[in-house]
């Protein structure tokens, strides 16, 4: 089962976040700018579940220090931009090679009336062609600069980038849920990651972080590094005490806890995982549940525990003591965060300057400029005008 509100609002709260949330991700805008983003705060995602057993009261404790002033929504905006970038493939497949003799080929018909390839292409261009083409230009520009800098991207780089994003969003499930809101999958996301990695590798050598900056950051955010005591537990939830007692008897007779959870637990959020709830803090649970869970030793199983949602049988599988991290313990993570902040600041300027130096033609925007900009009179024409007066 997942962490829930007591009031019946079935909202999932993040598991205790970790220092990995210091990591950042890069953002490719739909236009010409490229920004490297870091989460401003842990992303508080939500998802539905069936049994509201967890309690969010007092759950404001974060283990992630504030990062640069960029909203987590920026990550989702980048994901949407990735979808637009993927749409470019559709346009490419439709248009080039787009022959004159098949521009009237029907891609659909409505009561005998054709919708042609040309009409579809025009609508795609109208809907997002300029931003998509600009994103492709940006990608090509970064690719060329990466080759000059001898920057390469490995599978390990992509996997590390994905882990960073998962940590930033609070876990794999939360990232997957966020992606689904933009009609994306993890595989879709991974296809866009090489561009992020290249940009980061190009710019990181230009960034320096001093020990004093790391110390100042730690002192300003010291409280956010602290971690509360946590336990990892599994449970089986049933409606009546009689059901719970019957299950306890089966467990004493040697039955497997996980198998019984899959078979008998009414918590659909955890039963498929053998009742496993993952790690949670004391305040994440309703008091009746957490009071028992935090008293059990690792490996111990409780008697029937009554809450507003029924009767629980709880088994603790792991435990983490509360911890206050020192500067030395967090130094590497803080440095990574500060580097990402500086790369984020540097990226827009770098791309603007790189774009200005490049020879770029864009038929979609250039045509508009030609249509709206009247030509300046030449020097000879001005001279002729003056001489005629």
Collect all residues with Cβ–Cβ distance below 8 Å to 378 and sequence separation of at least 6: none
Q: 53-75, pLDDT tens digit by residue?
A: 443 222 333 333 333 322 333 33
Q: 116-131, pLDDT tens digit by residue?
A: 888 888 888 888 888 8
Residue 267 has pLDDT above 90, yes or no: yes
Mean pLDDT over residues 353-377, rounded? Answer: 72
DSSP string over 41-78: S--------S---B--TT-----S---SS--THHHHHH
Q: At what angle do helices 155-169 and 73-94 cross, to 10 degrees?
A: 130
Nearest CA to 37 out of 3, 75, 5 is that of 75
d(CA 346, CA 203): 8
pLDDT score of 48: 38
Mean pLDDT over residues 234-245, rounded? Answer: 96
pLDDT score of 69: 28
pLDDT score of 96: 44
Mean pLDDT over residues 28-39, rounded? Answer: 36
Confidence of residue 5 (pLDDT cuts 50, 70, 90): very low
d(CA 128, CA 136): 12
User: What does pLDDT average to over the chain?
Assistant: 74
More confident residue, 202 or 28: 202
Mean pLDDT over residues 178-186, rounded? Answer: 87
Cis peptide leading into 52, omega within 30 of 0?
no
Mean pLDDT over residues 221-236, rounded? Answer: 91
């Amino acid at each position: 089962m997942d962490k829930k509100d007591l009031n019946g609002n079935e909202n999932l709260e993040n598991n205790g976040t970790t220092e990995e949330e210091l990591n950042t991700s890069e953002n490719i805008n739909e236009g010409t700018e490229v920004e490297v983003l870091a989460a401003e705060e842990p992303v508080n995602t939500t998802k539905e579940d069936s049994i509201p057993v967890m309690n969010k009261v007092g759950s404001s404790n974060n283990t992630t220090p504030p990062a640069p002033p960029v909203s987590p929504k920026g990550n989702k905006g980048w994901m949407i931009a990735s979808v637009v970038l993927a749409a470019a493939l559709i346009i490419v497949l439709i248009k080039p090679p787009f022959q004159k003799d098949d521009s009237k080929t029907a891609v659909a018909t409505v009561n005998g009336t054709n919708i042609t390839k040309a009409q579809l292409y025009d609508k795609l261009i109208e809907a997002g062609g300029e931003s998509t083409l600009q994103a492709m230009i940006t990608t090509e520009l970064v690719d060329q600069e990466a080759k000059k800098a001898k920057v390469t991207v490995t599978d390990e780089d992509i996997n590390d980038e994905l882990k960073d994003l998962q940590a930033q969003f609070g876990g794999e499930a939360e990232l997957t849920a966020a992606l689904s809101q933009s009609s994306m999958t993890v595989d879709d996301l991974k296809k866009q990651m090489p561009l992020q990695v290249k940009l980061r590798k190009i710019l990181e050598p230009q960034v320096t972080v001093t020990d004093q900056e790391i110390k100042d950051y730690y002192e300003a955010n010291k409280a956010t590094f602290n971690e509360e005591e946590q336990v990892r537990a599994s449970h089986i939830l049933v409606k009546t005490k009689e059901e719970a007692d019957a299950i306890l008897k089966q467990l004493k007779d040697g039955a497997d806890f996980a198998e019984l959870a899959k078979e008998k637990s009414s918590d659909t959020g955890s039963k498929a995982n053998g009742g496993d709830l993952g790690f949670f803090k004391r305040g994440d649970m309703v008091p009746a549940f957490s009071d028992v869970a935090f008293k059990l030793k690792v490996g111990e199983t409780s008697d029937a525990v009554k809450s507003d949602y029924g009767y629980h049988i709880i088994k603790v599988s792991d435990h983490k003591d509360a911890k206050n991290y020192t500067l030395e313990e967090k130094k590497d993570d803080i440095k990574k965060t500060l580097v990402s902040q500086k790369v984020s600041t540097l990226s827009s300027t770098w791309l603007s300057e790189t774009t200005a130096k490049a020879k770029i033609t864009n038929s979609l925007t250039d045509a508009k400029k030609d249509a709206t900009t009247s030509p300046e009179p030449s020097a000879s024409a001005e001279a002729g005008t003056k001489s005629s007066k």
